[in-house]
Structure 1
Amino acid sequence: MIEIPGQEPVPAEPDSVRVTDEGAVRVITLNRPHVKNAINLPLRFALAEALEQADADAGVRVIVLTGAEGAFCSGGDISTMRRQPRNETTARAQAAQRVVRAIWHTPKPVVAAVEGPAFGAGTALALACDRVVAASDATFATTFTGVGLAGDMGIFASLPARVGVSRARQMLMLGTRVKGAEAGSIGLVDRVVDPGEALAAALEDAATLAAGPPLALGVIKQMLSGEPRHPLAVLDLEVRNQTMLWDSADFAEGVTAFAEKRRPVFGATPPQEN
């Protein structure tokens, strides 16, 4: 049972998320196909836990997030929603934000593989990832206003970062639907593939990322997240991060591989403490 302050306990759904490994890539699949993987409260908790476990697992280098049976996520499960006072809905809202915090907190790249609908929270969930691979017939829509809501799960950071404030404003206010092909042309997604190929393509990209230097990838993710920084502050952070990486096994391996004219084999070995 899931305990929510001020509410009746909610039964857990142990199969709402599937977790499999493809080498160093952890694949997390939303698994409520009967509602096109709509997000209810148990799924929020299960998804957050799966992401946090992937972050904590040293054997996982990249995370791929996808949905079961041809749908990414049709949004929040409206059948489980009703009008409630703020003190009763805060914990529910924070459970959704926990999912996005897990994606943004981990230094490991997170790749979304999107087929079919990605509506409302589904769009927000995909855009929270570091890379979005979408089928050409996938559909993105920020449909929160359809039920009188504005949006959450980081959509007010991720959407304007990808398409600009003006386009984000129109998408959020009008609930405009964007197909995968157009999504690629406006920067909403990073790679567009044929229908049915999103997961395979995402795993291909994930394998490339998994072969990269994990410490450096984590720094890149951290430096590009959060509030915009003053350029002079960026310079100081770059010095701090570069000197940390200079004292890493990844850097030593990269230099050695260059000299030996071979591909580097990176591993997340932390730098030595002085």
Structure 2
Amino acid sequence: MSGGEGSAAPSVLVEDRAAVRVITLNRPEVRNAIDLPLRHALAEALEAADSDARVRAIVLTGAGGAFCSGGDISTMRRAPRHETTPRAQAAQRVIRAIWHTPKPVVAAVEGPAFGAGAALALACDRVVTSVEATFATTFTGVGLAGDMGVFASLPARIGPARARQMLMLGSRVGGAEAERIGLADRAVAPGTALQAALEDAGRLAAGPPLALGVIKQMLSGEPRHPLAVLDLEIRNQTMLWDTDDFAEGVAAFAEKRRPEFGRPPAGHR
């Protein structure tokens, strides 16, 4: 992947562990703060994982004991809208890549997840956090409101009232409390977030990929009228009924074995 400015080291590391791709923010000297090169490299890594048929799940984490300390303020300055729009769009490209891929994305959070780092983690389908990690939407500290999908992901997880207070006050939430209030899905011992996230991603990678993609699609976007949901459920469920994954699931149930999704069912191999 491409490296950050003034650094020979790549700003994003990519590693495959079986069907799970691990994408690591790699600017530990600034606690993985996001500058413009990192935004582009991260989006490229996520898009590449989406297009690689060998990848069934993605884990997003940070190097050096930190997830992400937010946007790199040292690279920011006052500028007119026409200059800052490409920078903001580059950040949104990352979130679109997470939301648009049908593959499950799991965040493994150690240390700080501040500002854009918190938004990045919350954009994922599952958040695994160290009990000693810290989440904070610190955008107001530099006079900003927030981006990278935080106005969708944060209230979806903790409700609009609590999200409003967290965004306005920039209050910090520890890993254990994050699990308690739904900001994170699993809290684990310090230093074990990546391993726990890999375990969870492995379970997701073994799941039926088409069905998991439908679940992501159905739970994304604007709230739908209940009757519209019923129509979408029929369309998606009948599509899945005529897939190899469904045939494999039924065959595995009858044969009292674990299904092997993502492959042609027995008799069609």
Q: Give the one of 176, 196, 209 matched to 2:171.
A: 176
Q: Are 1:20 and 2:15 an aligned pair?
A: yes
Aligned pair partner of 1:214 in 205, 209, 212: 209
Report the Cα offset of residue 19 of structure 1.
0.1
TM-score, normalised relative to structure 2: 0.95
1:203, 1:168 → 2: CA distance?
Answer: 28
**Deviation of 1:226 (Å):** 0.4
Q: Return the match for 1:128 from 123, 126, 144.
A: 123
The 8 Å contact of residues 12 and 42 in structure 1, kept in 2 or not, is answered as no
The reply on whether 1:89 has 2:49 as its aligned counterpart is: no
**Cα distance in 2, alignment partners of residues 177 and 103 from structure 1:** 24
| 1:47-86 matches, cutoff 5 A | 47-86=42-81
User: In structure 2, what is the Cα distance between the partners aligned to 1:53 and 1:210?
Assistant: 17
Partner of 2:267: none
Offset, 1:99:
0.1
If the length of structure 1 is used for normalisation, what is the TM-score?
0.93
The alignment status of 1:36 with 2:25, answered yes or no, reads no
Q: Pick closer, same or farther for the CA change 1:268–1:215 going to 2, 3 Å.
A: farther
Alignment of 1:109-258 (within 5 A): 109-258=104-253
Deviations 1:111-135 (A, max 9, x none): 0000000000000000000000000
Deviations 1:159-209 (A, max 9, x none): 000000000000000000000000010000000000000000000000000
**4+ residue segments displaced more than 6 Å:** 10-14
Q: Aligned runs of 1:90-109 on 2, under 5 Å?
A: 90-109=85-104
Pair 263,167 (structure 1): closer, same or farther in 2 beyond 3 Å: same
Structure-to-structure mapping, 1:263-274, within 5 angstroms: 263-267=258-262
Q: Distance in 2 between matches of 1:12 and 1:194?
A: 32
Between the aligned residues of both structures, percent identity stands at: 80
- 1:11 positional shift: 7.4
Paired position in structure 2 for 1:272? none
Structure 2 CA distance for aligned equivalents of residues 257 and 204 of structure 1: 23
CA offset digits 1:245-271 (Å, max 9, x no partner): 0000000000000000000000066xx
Note the alpha carbon deviations across 1:92-144, whole angstroms, 9 max, x for none: 00000000000000000000000000000000000000000000000000000
Q: Separation in 2 of the partners of 1:268 and 1:183?
A: 37
Residues 1:73 and 1:61: Cα distance change in structure 2 (over 3 Å): same
**Cα RMSD over matched residues?**
1.3
User: Residues 136 and 193 of structure 1 are in contact (CA less than 8 Å); yes or no, is this contact kept in structure 2?
Assistant: yes
- Structure 2 Cα separation of the partners of residues 105 and 211 of structure 1: 20
Structure 2: how far apart are the matches of 1:141 and 1:15? 27
Deviation at 1:80, TM superposition (A): 0.2
Q: Structure 2: any 5+ residue segments left out of the alignment?
A: 265-269
Give 1:12 deviation, angstroms. 8.7
Contact 1:16 1:43 in 2 (8 A): yes
**Residue type at the aligned position of 2:109:** V
Count residues in correspondence: 261
